[in-house]
Amino acid sequence: MKIQNIFFLLLICNCSLYAQHTTEKWKVFELTLNGSTEGNPFTDVNLTGRFIKNKDTISVPGFYDGDGIYKIRFMPPNEGKWNYVTLSNVKNLTNKKGSFVCTPAQKDNHGPVAVKDSFYFAYADGTPHYSFGTTCYGWVHQGDSLAEVTLQTLSKGYFNKMRMCIFPKSYDWNNNEPVYYPFEGSPLKNWNYNKLNPAFFRNIEERIKQLDSLGIEADLIVFHPYDRWGFSSLDRATEDLYINYIIARFAAFKNVWWSMANEYDFMQNKKMSDWDYYIEQFATKDKFHHLLSIHNGVQFYDHTNPYITHVSIQEENTYKAKEYRTKYKKPVIFDECRYEGNIPWSWGNLTAPSMTEKFWRGFTNGGFVGHGETYVTEDPIRLPGESSDILWWSKGGVMIGKSPQRIKFLRQIIEAAPEELKPIPLFTWAPFSCVGIEHEYYLGYLNDAQPRSIVIDLPADASYNVEVIDTWNMTITPLEKKFSGHSLIGLPGKPYMAVRIVRNK
């Protein structure tokens, strides 16, 4: 047996420390330490990792992973050698030293997403990120078999962001018990709030990693009102324990976003000062500065809060993106604009053309839009809560709606466009919207109107290629004529059409 293999086995047997020797840029470096199980490791033990590279020093909290195992996770932002040292109030966990080498990011690793130039998103390597999201609140709590079906559905490339709850959800079409619970104890309300359940959080981080392998951002919802276990009404000490734990555990994953709540204003036992407090906790304690938002039911949160990175809203009028980005000076995501489906609730029975149109109207007004699907397929129809159907919005699985393919079509158009499109005038009639780069590129949408032609004013000193886009049938038809100045563009006379106009070089 080689000497290095013997050393590795001794290292594992000593169970004092284990860590990688190399970690790819923006991937997770994990340091594992063995310690005591006595007392309450979740509240009695303080553990921090200090990571140093030249003049850069980043300190991150550690966490207890059960069975005497303690971990520290770090996302290296720069290549080269990083040294580290642990600090703890427990003797055999402190002053553990070592180093690792951060290697270059590979082809599909673009790093975490951040805000760029006020209204846009970009990965750490500069690659633009256009948020095409979907909602699957409880998919992480359904078990492996259904989760695998969900991931297979997501692998088709419709979406690059998933809204998902950390706590289990209790609501219509989502009344089964979760596979794991966040605290030790037993359902429904016999919990030991001083002790978290590592298996619960381990399951979520596995889903985060699976999403990352598909290039999908995990928009983690920290709190929500749909609860029968008591998790929506924790005391401040328990909330702090939970918040600190998920930051320590999840923040090193590059595809994590933080959403403070789904429908924060429906959580009647919380005050506005509570939300301000939670937001500040994440903004100051997450050393990797992931995107941070809060989602509303009826009342918008004050998105001018400097800790909030982008506007995440429930609002069906996606054409207001231009208005909201002007007001808040931040990227605007309509994370909930109603869902394609057929359930009795008004928010969940859009037609596929209506959902597709909301995406086009949102993007051509300078915003981003999120999808959801709520189809009941059982016959006969049952009351909400009595159905055994698996709805995408609640549990994941497969999608049967017709909007995802059309959303993917729009995504391909947006991702092929020049960066940082902004709302610009092209049409004289306000309901038609357009984004682009003035004099260079225009992407305009005509909503559900069905004109046989449109008049547009282009610069007279240049010529332009025009393509007519059928957003429902997913076709792009180039027009043979070159256009300039005051132009009349012929159309098929059908609804849901768009035009793409590109200057000839």
Closest Cα to residue 449, out of 429, 463, 478, 420?
Answer: 429
What letter does residue 418 receive in the DSSP assignment?
A: P
Measuring CA to CA, how many Å separate 176 from each of 10, 130, 164, 304, 398?
Answer: 45, 34, 17, 38, 18
Contact 313, 325 (CB under 8 A): no
Q: In the sheet where 56-64 sits, what is the strand order?
A: 17-19, 29-34, 69-74, 56-64, 47-53, 80-88, 97-103, 22-24
The set of residues, in sequence order, having a beta carbon less than 8 Å from that of 107 and lying 6+ positions away, is none
Is pTM beyond 0.85? Reply is yes
Q: What is the pLDDT of residues 107-123, one digit of tens each?
A: 999 999 999 999 999 99
Could you give all domains of the chain from N- to C-terminal order, each with its CATH number?
Answer: 3-103 (2.60.40.10), 131-416 (3.20.20.80), 424-503 (2.60.40.3950)
Segment 445-454 shows an average pLDDT of 94
Q: What is the pLDDT of residues 257-291, one digit of tens each?
A: 999 999 999 999 999 999 999 999 999 999 999 99
The DSSP secondary structure of 154-193, one letter per residue, reads HTTSS-SEEEEESS---BTTB-SPPSS-SEEEETTTEEEE
Position 4 scores a pLDDT of: 41
Q: What is the pLDDT of residues 213-247, one digit of tens each?
A: 999 999 999 999 999 999 999 999 999 999 999 99
Contact 433, 444 (CB under 8 A): yes
Position 431 scores a pLDDT of: 81
Q: Is the dihedral of CA 270, 272, 278, 282 positive or negative?
A: positive
The set of residues, in sequence order, having a beta carbon less than 8 Å from that of 280 and lying 6+ positions away, is 307
Contact 503, 441 (CB under 8 A): yes
Q: What is the pLDDT of residues 378-389, one digit of tens each?
A: 765 555 555 568
Q: What is the pLDDT of residues 171-199, one digit of tens each?
A: 999 999 999 999 999 999 899 999 999 99
Determine phi and psi for 468, rounding to 5 degrees. Answer: -100, 125
Q: What would you report as the CA-atom Rg of the chain, rounded to the nearest whole angstrom?
A: 25
Q: Token pair 């009028």 is at which residue?
A: 317
